[in-house]
Chain A
Amino acid sequence: MASALINVPARAKRGDVVEIRTLTSHIMETGFRRTAAGDLVPRDIITSFTCRYNGTEIFRADLFPAIAANPYLSFFTVARESGKFEFEWIGDNGFVSTASASITVE
């Protein structure tokens, strides 16, 4: 199972608005729950997500404990030029996950 799923259209016309979908597998442990023994389960969440389009940041999101496991984010951008989308998730306990996808703009 891939830890991150990305859906970027492979091709688009210049100026088209394209949808980008991402989903990453993560437990998003809130830090508010307790075990049966009464111990607090430590927080373990993704805290930030960024998307860069040919190096330029086009979308960023801060994530919080109220966000459910396996965060799914969908957003839109304008297809300006062929190139690469780079995605990065950063979280607690040094969590880092990256992915990328290419687009051809005609």
Chain B
Amino acid sequence: MMTCPVTRRTAALGIAAASLALLAIARAQGAARVVVIGGGFGGAACARALKRSETTLQVTLVEPNRTFTACPFSNEVIAGLREIEAQQFGYEKIASDGVSVIAQAATAIDPQARRVTLADGSSLSYDRLVLSPGVDFHFDGLPGYDEAASQKMPHAWTAGEQTLLLRRQLEAMEDGGVVAIAVPANPSRCPPAPYERASLIAHYLKANKPRSKVLILDAKDNFTQQKLFEKAWAELYGGMIERVSLSQGGRVTSVDPASNTVITEFGNYTPQVANVIPPQRAGRIAAIAGAADTTGWCPIDPMTFESRLMPSIHVIGDACLGGGIPKSASAASAQGKACANAIVNLIAGRAPETPRLTGVCYNTVAPAYGFSLAGNYQPKGDIFAEVEGGATSPLDAPPERRAREAADAERWFQTITAATFG
């Protein structure tokens, strides 16, 4: 699943880069330094857009992993429809654009001195800092669950080893087993993804272990594109997917990894495979920087993505409180580009332009069966609000339409990963 906003600022960025006046100002100030922490869809898109729109900027991308593993389409990996290598991308092309890529974790931030400390003890000074750290798991919010528990009850909510672990557990499960998916309340990364995952796991089970079931234990009553999902489940998997909603007692309150037990407010479940998606908050460096509030997320000025708590620090992607924009790869990418544009304007002493983000969110529930939701978002107060012009796939559509949308989803992934990493 993924969302695919494209900023309408892309054209404006090109114009900004060509502006002789802007170049003159930037040169007069000396090369401004922008450090971007986090090399996912948001940070990578932001670093690249900064460098491409204003070549005199010193842009540094701080990311400890040398290979990025993408979350969108990782549900296909879990279901055996795709290999993990198709999810993996390097930073070489970003570096060849002139971005300095440093394979280190950021460990501390001094907002007064405007300095980032890295794991090896070295430090980087900045004029503007961009945080794109994604999500961190909020283990206190789910007693019994922690890093060790995730080796037994995988979350698979960061792509990579966790994705493969869940896949191996499904492959090892005997026919007739129950696969439970514990779904947290919002805000969380990629709200429709648990339901896409349930669908694709059912697809795998139907073909390989047809007596098995998928049980969704949900901390929500309603979810995005619910009618489309439920129709697809009835059409494709009749009865294989059962969902216990919040008001049916579905909220998971704790887990016991030793017995593989998932505990809800009103009952205990002992599935053969437990995919426990814990509650989330902004990636740890956001809290270290002082940019996260008591919700665990980062309030921003949606015009510039600048933190409401820490001046000169911008927060994009899953970590920010984006309002109506779902936390997703494409939202992060669109925000990264819009944030880059705002930073170029701020450094040049110009007023930021109003970002208009457009997103398309695809879900694939079986091979050749996809649907989508498109939305437009603009700043409203402290958040982004959805504005008119959005559309969701019709509830009744011929198989050709579902097949076309599944192909569109694949094409979207090729496009966004090529634009970000290629």
Tell me if chain B binds chain A. Answer: yes
- The interface size of chain B toward A, counting residues with CB under 8 Å, comes to 8
Given known A1-B248, A5-B248, contact A70–B221 (CB-CB < 8 A): yes
Find out whether the CB atom of B265 lies under 8 angstroms from the CB atom of A23: yes
A7 vs B268: C-alpha distance in the bound complex, in angstroms? 11
| Minimum C-beta distance from A69 to chain B (A) | 7
A69 proximity list for chain B (CB < 8 A)? 247
A23 vs B248: C-alpha distance in the bound complex, in angstroms? 8
B267 proximity list for chain A (CB < 8 A)? 7
- The interface size of chain A toward B, counting residues with CB under 8 Å, comes to 11
A54 proximity list for chain B (CB < 8 A)? none
Find out whether the CB atom of A21 lies under 8 angstroms from the CB atom of B221: no
A25 vs B246: C-alpha distance in the bound complex, in angstroms? 11
| Minimum C-beta distance from B165 to chain A (A) | 32
Taking the complex as formed, is B187 at the interface, i.e. its CB lies under 8 A from any CB of chain A?
Answer: no
The closest CB in chain A to the CB of B249 belongs to A5
Give the interface centre of A2, A23, A25 by most chain B CB atoms within 10 Å. Answer: A23
Taking the complex as formed, is A6 at the interface, i.e. its CB lies under 8 A from any CB of chain B?
Answer: yes
The closest CB in chain A to the CB of B244 belongs to A1
Find out whether the CB atom of A25 lies under 8 angstroms from the CB atom of B265: no
Find out whether the CB atom of B266 lies under 8 angstroms from the CB atom of A21: yes
B221 proximity list for chain A (CB < 8 A)? 70
B247 proximity list for chain A (CB < 8 A)? 23, 25, 69-70
A69 vs B245: C-alpha distance in the bound complex, in angstroms? 13
A86 vs B203: C-alpha distance in the bound complex, in angstroms? 43
The closest CB in chain A to the CB of B221 belongs to A70
The closest CB in chain B to the CB of A2 belongs to B248
B265 proximity list for chain A (CB < 8 A)? 5, 7, 21, 23, 72
A2 proximity list for chain B (CB < 8 A)? 248
Closest 4 CB pairs of A and B: A70-B247, A5-B266, A5-B249, A7-B266
Q: 14 pairs across A/B with beta carbons < 8 Å?
A: A1-B248, A2-B248, A5-B248, A5-B249, A5-B266, A6-B266, A7-B249, A7-B265, A7-B267, A21-B265, A23-B249, A23-B266, A70-B246, A70-B247
